[in-house]
């Protein structure tokens, strides 16, 4: 079996999750009658400090429902320039919601409040800003944490301008564990928030979108339009509830494994690791100094049973998760060093 660092979204469900799937109480969620879904949504809403929550199939769907439910065609959304919404969601916001995206620069995922304030366009201009989107932790910066104070500042700016703010919190619980700041504190300074259950938390599928009662009512209709309504979705919700209620604290193990991996890789000739970005469970590794092509390294690592991906030119991404052990880290370092020495 491969040691797979390509993503933490491919983690395998625990035995408790598998049993929860088998014994799940089910009903028709289209009618709001699936007890497992209802328990999951109520639990998530309470944890996040929001009035309501909605089970969706993926983080991308959650983000798109947030945009659809808080924007109008022809309006503009502000997004961080390398965010998942802007880079990885196939321009679905422009195709489905009909909104224009305006990328904003950042420092490791942290947008400067004054830049955001100046970028917001008010009603009456050629187009107006309907939504500001954040991402925490920030994937393409290496799993970096957006500080709570920054989110507070952006929230205040959005409130003063009448603009909503959405948090793509696909890995928000990694930030929670790393900072010891409760998840509801991060969510408090947003209008809507999305969390993935199938990344570090290990559920087989699913994400949660949370916000006000009115917002979730609109999002539920948009979920129906996009084919996301799921009869008897308790099969998904039951293991997701296990993930949400039992798997958060163990994320610290992934963070420790990421630091161990980063330290070992940084000691190898020609390998550069920016330790300022190794804050959670992602390690970005610059291999340009090895004089080997990234695709060559990826190919040879795969032959040695290790899967990684090139995330930007000359940079490999390693993501630690529950299915990677401390022994796997040691094995990876040994195999990587062997490949570099040849």
Name the helix (H) or strand (E) containing 283: strand 282-286
Classify domain 250-341 by CATH architecture.
Alpha-Beta Complex (3.90)
pLDDT, residue 9, reads 92
| Token pair listed for 72 | 């109008």
Distance of alpha carbon 326 from its chain centroid, rounded?
Answer: 24
Domain spans in the chain, listed from the N-terminal domain onward: 15-246, 250-341
State whether residue 31 is helix, strand or coil.
Answer: helix
Q: Are 174 and 319 in contact (CB under 8 A)?
A: no
Nearest alpha carbon to residue 228 among 200, 243, 208, 242: 208
Nearest alpha carbon to residue 286 among 301, 274, 277, 278: 274
pLDDT (tens, 9 = 90+) of the chain, 342 residues, equals 899 999 999 899 999 999 999 999 999 999 999 999 999 999 999 999 999 999 999 999 999 999 999 999 999 999 999 999 999 999 999 999 999 999 999 999 999 999 999 999 998 888 999 999 999 999 999 999 999 999 999 999 999 999 999 999 999 999 999 999 999 999 999 999 999 999 999 999 999 999 999 999 999 999 999 999 999 999 999 999 999 999 999 999 999 999 999 999 999 999 999 999 999 999 999 999 999 999 999 999 999 999 999 999 999 999 999 999 999 999 999 999 999 998
pLDDT, residue 317, reads 97
pLDDT, residue 1, reads 85
Give phi and psi for 5, each to the nearest 5: -100, 5
**What is the bridge-based pairing of β-strands 164-169 and 192-196?**
parallel
**What is the bridge-based pairing of β-strands 76-80 and 129-135?**
parallel
Distance of alpha carbon 16 from its chain centroid, rounded?
Answer: 23
Classify domain 15-246 by CATH architecture.
3-Layer(aba) Sandwich (3.40)
Q: Are 53 and 42 in contact (CB under 8 A)?
A: yes
Name the helix (H) or strand (E) containing 132: strand 129-135
Nearest alpha carbon to residue 57 among 206, 230, 195: 206
pLDDT, residue 201, reads 97
pTM summary value: 0.96
């Amino acid at each position: 079996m491969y040691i797979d660092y390509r993503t933490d979204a491919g983690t395998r469900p625990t035995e408790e999750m598998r049993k929860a799937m088998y014994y799940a109480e089910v009903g028709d969620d289209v009618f709001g009658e699936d007890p497992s879904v209802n328990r999951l949504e109520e639990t998530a809403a309470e944890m996040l400090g929001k009035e309501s929550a909605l089970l969706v199939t993926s983080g991308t769907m959650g983000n798109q429902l947030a945009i659809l439910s808080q924007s109008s065609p022809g309006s503009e959304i502000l997004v961080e320039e390398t965010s998942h919404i802007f880079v990885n969601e196939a321009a679905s916001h422009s195709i489905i919601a009909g909104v224009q995206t305006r990328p904003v620069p950042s420092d490791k995922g942290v947008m400067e409040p004054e830049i955001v304030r100046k970028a917001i366009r008010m009603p009456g201009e050629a187009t107006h800003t309907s939504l500001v989107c954040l991402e925490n932790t920030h994937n393409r910066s290496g799993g970096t944490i957006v500080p709570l104070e920054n989110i507070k500042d952006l929230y205040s700016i959005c409130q003063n301008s009448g603009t909503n703010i959405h948090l793509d919190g696909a890995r928000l619980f990694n930030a929670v564990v790393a900072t010891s700041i409760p998840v509801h504190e991060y969510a408090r300074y947003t209008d809507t928030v999305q969390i993935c259950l199938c990344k570090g938390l290990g559920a087989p599928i699913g994400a949660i979108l949370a916000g006000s009662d009115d917002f979730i009512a609109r999002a539920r209709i948009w979920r129906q339009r996009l084919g996301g309504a799921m009869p008897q979705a308790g099969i998904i919700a039951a293991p997701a509830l296990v993930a949400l209620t039992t798997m958060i604290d163990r994320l610290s193990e992934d963070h420790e494994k990421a630091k161990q991996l980063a330290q070992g890789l940084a000691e190898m000739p020609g390998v550069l690791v920016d330790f300022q970005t190794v804050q959670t469970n992602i390690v970005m590794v610059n291999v340009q100094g090895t004089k080997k092509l990234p695709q060559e390294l990826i190919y040879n690592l795969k032959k040695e049973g290790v899967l990684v991906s090139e995330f930007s030119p000359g940079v490999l991404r390693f993501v630690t998760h529950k299915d990677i052990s401390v022994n796997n880290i040691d094995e990876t370092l040994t195999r990587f060093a062997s490949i570099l020495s040849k």
